[in-house]
Amino acid sequence: AQSVTQLGSHVSVSEGALVLLRCNYSSSVPPYLFWYVQYPNQGLQLLLKYTTGATLVKGINGFEAEFKKSETSFHLTKPSAHMSDAAEYFCAVSGAYNKLIFGAGTRLAVHP
């Protein structure tokens, strides 16, 4: 069975600093991995996804993630945080019937 663990329920960074949100997965088959962002009182928006091929995946809003099979990780990064990046971020792995299994989420705070 697939599962996702997000390390750190809350992350706080300064504006302009590196953003690193951690995600580790467990999967018995080659995984499809996703990062979604949720702004307050809104639905989830896809940031990026990994299916096959290149292990460094670029997404929207300057985010990227690297699939590391040896570490079973799919960490999300952004070189320079912006105030508008403050939101909750969810890592997910695709399971049976294409349903997503989500991590518990990481709330990102960006301070001036």
Partner 1 sequence: NAGVMQNPRHLVRRRGQEARLRCSPMKGHSHVYWYRQLPEEGLKFMVYLQKENIIDESGMPKERFSAEFPKEGPSILRIQQVVRGDSAAYFCASSPQVLSGANVLTFGAGSRLTVL
Per CB under 8 A, residues contacting partner 1 are: 32, 34, 36, 41-46, 49, 51, 90, 94-105
> CB 69 → partner 1: shortest distance, Å?
16
Residue 36 vs 78, nearer CB to partner 1: 36
User: How many Å apart are CA 1 and CA 85, to the nearest integer?
Assistant: 32
Query: Integer distance in angstroms from the first to the last C-alpha of the chain?
Result: 41
Q: Cα angle at 48 between 79 and 41, to 5 degrees?
A: 90
Nearer to partner 1, 96 or 112 (CB): 96
Closest CA to 64 of 51, 53, 82, 79: 79
- At closest approach, how far in Å is the CB of 45 from partner 1? 8
Select 13 or 50, whichever has its Cβ closest to partner 1. Answer: 50
